[in-house]
Amino acid sequence: MQLEEIGWLRRGACRSSDPDLFFPLAPTPLQEARAKAVCAGCQVIQECRSYALRAGESDGIWGGLTPEERRRARTPETWRRPAAS
């Protein structure tokens, strides 16, 4: 990860939040909702989301998306459908 690539992170709303909210050891729906609420008010949410999708970040909440949501966003929908028999 290049530092200039994530320079926008200095303006992230999560900088004043507990890191465990974004990178919990055991994620829960409540924790994810609280982290997403912080992201919803973040001025760099688009930069953050684009970076995480491009970089393949596998852990934590980035740009208001969970790891599973990012995985789905990276996978074309046609790949998710069962193959026709």
Q: Looking at the DSSP assignment, which residues form a beta bridge with residue 62?
A: 65
- CB-CB contact of 13 with 64 (8 Å): no
Q: Which residue in the set 9, 21, 50, 69 belongs to the binding site for ligand SF4 (CB under 6 A)?
A: 9
User: Is residue 65 a contact residue for ligand SF4 (CB under 6 A)?
Assistant: no
User: Is residue 63 a contact residue for ligand SF4 (CB under 6 A)?
Assistant: yes
Q: Which residue in the set 3, 42, 70, 82 belongs to the binding site for ligand SF4 (CB under 6 A)?
A: 42
User: Which residue in this structure is represented by tokens 């789905």?
Assistant: 72
User: Is residue 21 a contact residue for ligand SF4 (CB under 6 A)?
Assistant: no
Q: Looking at the DSSP assignment, which residues form a beta bridge with residue 65?
A: 62
State the distance between the two ends of the chain, measured CA to CA, in whole angstroms: 43
User: Is residue 39 a contact residue for ligand SF4 (CB under 6 A)?
Assistant: yes
Per CB under 6 A, residues contacting ligand SF4 are 9, 12-14, 22, 38-39, 42, 44-45, 48, 61-64
